[in-house]
Chains A and B, each alone.
Chain A
Amino acid sequence: MDDPLYREEILDHYYSSPHRGHLESPDLVSDLDNPLCGDEIHLELSLGTDGRINQVRFEGHGCVISQAATSLLADRVEGATLDEVRQITPVDVVKLLGVTLSPTRMKCGLLGWKALQKAVAEPGPARE
């Protein structure tokens, strides 16, 4: 099936994201879920000495869109400053996915982005 939403690259991110997993000692973490569809994302970030994002890892489950968008975002923000992350808009996420999303699917597409914004907006102490 030729479906831009379910193209190879997206499904690869869904099934075998290089960013799946946990970090040894994350500097920032955040959790978000969408009870309406049962999607959930747990996000962990580590910062380098220069304050830039070093590594991003996530765990979660949900539809292709929510999981792949999170993985694509993780790719995008490794190496970025927190300020740069804060500037990322929903429009950027849609561009990363390379498809237009219906209003309902937009919620899925933005779950990882919201988790990321939450992580960089409220830097809490890292998990024990």
Chain B
Amino acid sequence: MDSTEVKADPVLQAEQRSGLLSREPIDDLRQAGASGGNWQAAAHRASRFDLEEVRTAFPALRQEVSPGVPLIYFDSAATSLKPQQVVQAVLDFMTIYPANVHRGLHTLSERATEAFEGARDKVARLLGVEDSGQIIFTRGTTEAINLVAQSWGRAELKPGDAIVLSELEHHSNLVPWQMLARERGVELKYVELTDDARLDPDALEAALTDRVRLVAVTGMSNVTGTIPPLERIVEMVHARGARVLVDAAQSLPHHRLNFGRLGVDFVAFSGHKLFGPTGIGVLYGKRELLEAMPPVSFGGSMVVRVDRQRAEWNEIPWKFEAGTPPIAEAIGLGAAIDYLSQFSAQELAGHERGLLTHAHDVLGQIASLRILGPADPEQKGAIVSFTMEGTHPHDLAQLLDRHGIAIRAGHHCAMPLHVRLGIPASARASFSMYNTIAEIDRLGVALESIRLLFRRHSHEQVAPRPATRAATEFPNG
């Protein structure tokens, strides 16, 4: 790879200086070992990132939303599109070796087991950890976080302990802790964000009392794209003897961090946001933590011996995987990681940085449009959430859909963050490796036409009042 062609990226460079970012394509991590190696040689072997080629790999991009209106997919933060390689891997499993794992001694079962456990190894390399026994397959991020709350949380936390969360969190990194807190008499504390939705380490320091046992924080906000300073956070939290859980659902598709080296205690992510199938996700945990944790779901596979009254648990990771696992989904995730690993992290980050910077430029020029979170695209990941004065995000999403542009509107499962930002809902455009600068230009043109449509009708009339109340805590959603 010719590194001079990649745009300089301060966030990336800082992470590389600190040695946290996996610079190697994943396959080379295996050879080099997760903690170093010749990444330049690795980069030379990686195929060059070719946008046209990437776009052909994603069959969903070959469609028109309505006649003559091609799809522009800006909703990858909700779920990413899937490359043909992933579809093929799932298809192969289902058509050629659709056998159960860990149970048969026949050829198909061996093959399925190999592919399934092979996917686990790929996840371990992606996260920068050597021991794939620390990789537990779950249904997704949500289930992974619930597993930590119900197993580690119930076993370890006592009344009076505290858990620190940030206002950036997705509901899936809030509600499991709320339930645990209520059940165990544990206090929930929040790190206050800055007005532009950044997480200031000093604010975290203020929340870190001796009672804090866990800090659960996102690797990247699914609304503002904010990237909290994980290295600092891990240092501060470990200095206090507490644990860190990182919700990597959004960060992993954009930033390959070496979680092993970073020393994070738990990491959760979802396959479907990482170009893989739905129904598969991962919990990574440190071996000593996972070994001490009790299982929370019981049945086949998670036991080694069962008598009429008792059972003996299997070792990790299987101790936490009761029943037939999502085999096709795990194999699909493995294929997604293979796909991703063709490209160097630097190339991908460079492309996405270009998209994000352009999006900030284009959207920043639209009157009455407000971008939420950090104004500087260098301080965030490839997501732009915004509001347009006098226009409800639902109307924006619906009208953009007429232009073939898929965005998301609502509170994006982050109600406390919207309360903090003082709005009930927002519109969100999120970008991925297959998006183009031209698509962002189309978004700009479409948004400008929507603004004019609404302005034409509202002129001389009373503009709709701004939201009188922000989202409040409701049990659902």
Contacts and interface: CB of A to CB of B under 8 A. Distances in A.
Interface residues of A, number: 24
Interface residues of B, number: 35
Contacts of B468: 40, 61
A8 interface: yes
Given A1-B399, A6-B395, A63-B394, A37 B410 contact: yes
Contacts of A36: 410-411, 476-477
Interface string B440-459: 00000000011001100110
B287 to A, nearest CB: 41
A88 B461 CA distance: 31
B469 interface: yes
A40 B466 CA distance: 12
B366 interface: no
A83 to B, nearest CB: 33
Given A37-B410, A62-B392, A108-B394, A6 B425 contact: no
B399 A6 contact: yes
Contacts of B367: none
> Main SS of chain B's interface residues?
loop
B471 interface: yes
Contacts, number: 74
Contacts of B402: 1, 3
A15 B410 contact: no
B446 to A, nearest CB: 10
A38 B399 contact: no
A121 B95 CA distance: 56
A39 B449 CA distance: 24
Given A36-B477, A38-B411, A64-B392, A15 B398 contact: no
Interface in A50-88: 61-65, 67
A104 B463 CA distance: 26
Interface in B418-477: 423-425, 449-450, 453-454, 457-458, 461-472, 474, 476-477
A15 B399 contact: no
A43 B477 CA distance: 25
3 smallest A-B Cβ distances: which pairs? Answer: A38-B424, A63-B392, A35-B474
Interface of A: 1, 3, 5-6, 8, 11-12, 14-16, 35-40, 61-65, 67, 105, 108
